[in-house]
Structure 1
Amino acid sequence: MITAAPDGVYRAARDLDMLSIHSPLFDAVMWARGVPDRVRRRPVATPPSMRVSDLFETAAAGDRADVEAQPWVALGERAGREIVFGAVGKVWKPTIEWRRVEPGDYADFEEPGWAKMAAAFVVHPYGARRSLLTYEARTACTDPVSTTRFGRYWTLVSPGVGIVLRGALRAVEAAAETGEGSTRGDES
């Protein structure tokens, strides 16, 4: 339960920058994800931001360079209520191999060897000044071998993913309850 109106919670969820979340556990999880690249002496790629709204705004602006560099795509939005985004990747590899799939092709993508991930933030009104925010994620693999690989991977990483998602929900809650309506710290 978040003590903020649904519109403010929605704006905070949409403006969430995953790179703005900091806690010792969250930072440890993010550091661990880069270990395979560090061991191979490769640079650990960190984008300047990972804002949920960028997925929707970049797609709308049509900037091909930014669009193609981002594996996550905007899958749908019900303004003020729900945002859905997804990606296709081989997340079980030490360095994730992403496959850019355009939003219109996402649902029908079936090429063997991949995991299709979709996630959503949904805001539920709970009175006039309170809201329930849910985060839901689903993964569907495109063949039995990928399903097995993903299952082994998920067994290993699910505790870390839980830390990341709880951090994201707390960041949205803090932004919404302080009236910022944005997790970037500025007014949009």
Structure 2
Amino acid sequence: MLADRFAPRYDVLQARHLLVEAPVERTYSALRSLDFTEIGGGLVNLAFWARGLPERWKNRHHRMPRVPTRLTFDDLVTGSEWAILGERPGSEIVLGVAGQFWKPVVVWRRVEPDRFIDFAEPGFGKIVLSLSAAPYGGTHTLLTYDARVILGDGWSRAKFWVYWTTVSPFIRAIQTATLRTIARHAEAAEPKA
């Protein structure tokens, strides 16, 4: 996986898989055009709402930023600290970000792809997120969401583990909802003639 290049060693790996009833080309096309605002569901919506509470409280006397009506990979890397670390078109896309995710109001840090592997600032961790599509037989695709967390020091690792104990079930729900959203679009797409 391309994700191995950016996170060969990690402190946490959480992967989810889904078998999609569509060929890999259609599935990757649906993956690459994913609109993150379409990902939802009871537990997922609760997770996003709860994660946003501290920031909403901090900014309660200020105008809240506009909530996007569309959020693709390209929108995400243009309007946030996330960066596309690499892509194997038709197969895998990898994103990354550094930050202090365990804090109530997350402190994010954008790290450019050419500096990402070596970034190891104390007090920060890195997230490597990979979405991939691999052929499964002649007409199906194995869709994978791989999330890896790398922590640079013991203090950050300790803080993160307390946080991870609480959030990992919600992350699994978000991963599953993401895969289902991609699959729904891939399976509904018209086959190319």
Q: TM-score with structure 2 length normalisation?
A: 0.81
> Where in structure 2 are the equivalents of 1:29-108 lying within 5 Å?
29-40=47-58, 41=60, 45=65, 46-54=67-75, 66=78, 69-108=79-118
Q: CA RMSD in A?
A: 1.9
> What's 1:178 paired with?
188
In structure 2, the gaps of 5 or more residues are: 1-18
Structure 1 residue ranges (4+ consecutive) displaced by more than 2 angstroms after TM superposition: 37-40, 42-50, 52-55
Q: Which has the higher strand share?
A: 2
- Aligned to 2:149, the other structure's residue is in SS state strand
- Aligned to 2:162, the other structure's residue is in SS state helix
Matched residues in 2 for 1:17 and 1:7: separation?
18
Shift of 1:50: 2.9
1:23 aligned onto 2:41: yes
Relative distance call for 1:23 and 1:120 in structure 2 (3 A) is same
1:147 aligned onto 2:169: no
- Aligned to 1:93, the other structure's residue is in SS state coil
- Aligned to 2:20, the other structure's residue is in SS state coil
Shift of 1:12: 1.0
Matched residues in 1 for 2:185 and 2:139: separation?
15
**Counterpart amino acid of residue 38 in structure 1:** R
> What's 1:112 paired with?
122
- Aligned to 2:49, the other structure's residue is in SS state helix
Shift of 1:70: 1.6
* 1:44-67 CA distance string (max 9 Å, x none): 543443312445xx6xxxxxxx3x
Q: TM-score with structure 1 length normalisation?
A: 0.83
**Counterpart amino acid of residue 125 in structure 1:** P
Asked if structure 2 preserves the Cα contact closer than 8 Å seen for 1:12 and 1:176, the reply is yes
Relative distance call for 1:31 and 1:72 in structure 2 (3 A) is same
**Counterpart amino acid of residue 101 in structure 1:** V
Matched residues in 2 for 1:146 and 1:47: separation?
31
**Counterpart amino acid of residue 184 in structure 2:** A
> What's 1:6 paired with?
24
* 1:108-147 CA distance string (max 9 Å, x none): 1011110111011111101221111011111111111111
Relative distance call for 1:53 and 1:148 in structure 2 (3 A) is same
% same residue: 39
Matched residues in 2 for 1:100 and 1:37: separation?
19
2:143 to 101, 110, 133: 133
In structure 1, the gaps of 5 or more residues are: 59-65, 182-188
Relative distance call for 1:91 and 1:130 in structure 2 (3 A) is same
